[in-house]
Structures are given as structure tokens and as C-alpha cells.
Amino acid sequence: MSRLPSLPVDKWDPELRAMTGADHASLFEQLSGGVLAHAPDMAKAMMRFAGMLWQGHTLPRRLLELMRLRIAFHNQCRSCMAVRYQSALDDGMTEEMVCSLEKPTDAPDLTPREKAALAYADLQATNHLAISDQTFADLRKHFTEAEIIELGMFASFYIGFGRFAAALDMVEELPDDFQDKATKATPWKRESIVLDDRVPA
């Protein structure tokens, strides 16, 4: 059970409720959003920031989702690892690619560009002081400087909010194998929840 209770949707701030589409959201989305709903102004600010990130992104959705899941593994955020976003699936991400995140440098189905982004994400999530001039030289082989900034912004968002979500321990609506706290969780080889994050046409 989450370390903070989830507010029922009818008790949410009306603007937050409208922003999130909470009335039509899945139970998982309602419960996780309901925890943040205790501080509606903070929740709305976070959503606006996230919305601006997604509005301005240029990197492939598949790459960003692979990076999000790899960081979720380092964060041990079970609610993050359980989720797949529909826009990333539409962009070609498969469960086989998610399984490749176990050993991304050896994965035949990840592109050199994706591997470079994941290597950067690993350092940012686990040992950011080890990031060096060589790290950026390696990134420049695959990304423009603007794209490197984008990688860093998304990695920072995933790390910070993922660790917060992990600390909240919002697992009650996750598939059963994410409930077992005796084992280290992984995003690969497990049942997942698909959330539709596509912008309506």
C-alpha cells in the first residue's frame, strides 16, 4: 500500500482533475494521481513542466521510453517499471527491446544511438560525477548539442520524479510480480500496464 493515501477523484482540485482526465483514467492512474492530489498546486506545476518537456521533445519516443525504463530499474521504482506508454509502442518499442535493457550494450535490437543514450542514462542515474568530457564526446557521435540537452532534461525528470514515486511505494494496482518486495524488480520479463498518452487528433 502507498505510504500516503490516495484522495478519491471527487475530492481532487477541479483544475487538476480536468488536467489529468482523472474521471476517465484507469484505477492505477487515479490512485497514483490521487497521492499527488494532496498538494494540487505542486501536482499541477509538475504536470505543466512535464507537458512542456513532451511538447518540445525531438528525440524518438521509443528512445525516451527505453531510457525511462532503464532509469526506473536503477531507481527501483516499481510503478515506473510496470508502465508502458502507448506512444512508445506506436514508435516501435517492443517487449523484446525492454528485455534488452537487462544488458543494453550487448543487445542486437538496440541501435547505436539508443545504446549511447542508455549509457549516458546509466551514469546520470548511478554515478553522475563519473560523467566526463569523453561521455559527451561519445554522445556527440550520435546526437546534436540540442539533443544532448534534451537527453539530460528527460533523464533528470525520470530520475527525480522516479525516486519520489519509488519512495511513495505506489504498488497496490501493479501486476502481482511487482508486489514481491523480497526480490529486486526489473522492467523486463514481467507483465506490464499500457497507458494511452497519445495526443488526440
Say if residue 67 is in the same domain as residue 51: no
Say if residue 47 is in the same domain as residue 113: no
Q: Give the per-residue pLDDT at 199.
A: 66
**How many domains is the chain built from?**
2
Say if residue 51 is in the same domain as residue 63: no
> What are the b/e assignments for 31-43, b being 16+ CB within 10 Å?
bbbbbbbeebeeb
Q: Give the per-residue pLDDT at 78.
A: 96
Q: Is 80 within the bounds of a domain?
A: yes
Q: Is 200 within the bounds of a domain?
A: no
Say if residue 67 is in the same domain as residue 159: yes
Which of the 8 DSSP states describes residue 53?
H
Q: Is 35 within the bounds of a domain?
A: yes
Say if residue 68 is in the same domain as residue 150: yes
Query: Letter for the amino acid at 121?
Result: A
Q: Give the per-residue pLDDT at 182.
A: 84
Contact 57, 65 (CB under 8 A): no
Q: Give the per-residue pLDDT at 200.
A: 59
Q: Is 64 within the bounds of a domain?
A: yes
Say if residue 114 is in the same domain as residue 188: yes
Burial (0-12, 13-18, 19+ Cβ within 10 Å), 181: exposed
- Taking alpha carbons only, the member of 144, 149, 184, 139 closest to residue 166 is 184
Query: Letter for the amino acid at 30?
Result: Q
Instruction: Select from 56, 77, 98 the last residue of a domain.
Output: 56
Say if residue 83 is in the same domain as residue 156: yes
Say if residue 120 is in the same domain as residue 188: yes
Q: Give the per-residue pLDDT at 42.
A: 97
pLDDT-flagged residues of the chain (< 50):
201
Say if residue 142 is in the same domain as residue 87: yes
Q: Is 4 within the bounds of a domain?
A: yes
Q: Is 144 within the bounds of a domain?
A: yes
- CATH number of the domain to which 64 belongs: 1.20.1290.10
Say if residue 65 is in the same domain as residue 154: yes
Q: Give the per-residue pLDDT at 27.
A: 86
Residue-by-residue DSSP string for 83-134: EEEHHHHHTT--HHHHHHTTSGGG-TTS-HHHHHHHHHHHHHHH-GGG--HH
Q: Is 34 within the bounds of a domain?
A: yes
Q: Is 39 within the bounds of a domain?
A: yes
**Joined grid coordinates for residue 85:** 506508454
* Separation of alpha carbons 47 and 192, rounded Å: 23
Q: Which domain holds residue 104?
A: 59-168+183-195
Say if residue 97 is in the same domain as residue 47: no
Long-range CB contacts (within 8 A, 24+) of 4-10? 4/35, 4/38, 4/168, 5/34, 5/35, 6/30, 6/31, 6/32, 6/33, 6/34, 6/35, 6/37, 7/34, 7/35, 7/37, 7/38, 8/34, 9/34
Say if residue 80 is in the same domain as residue 119: yes
Query: 83: which strand partners?
Result: 193
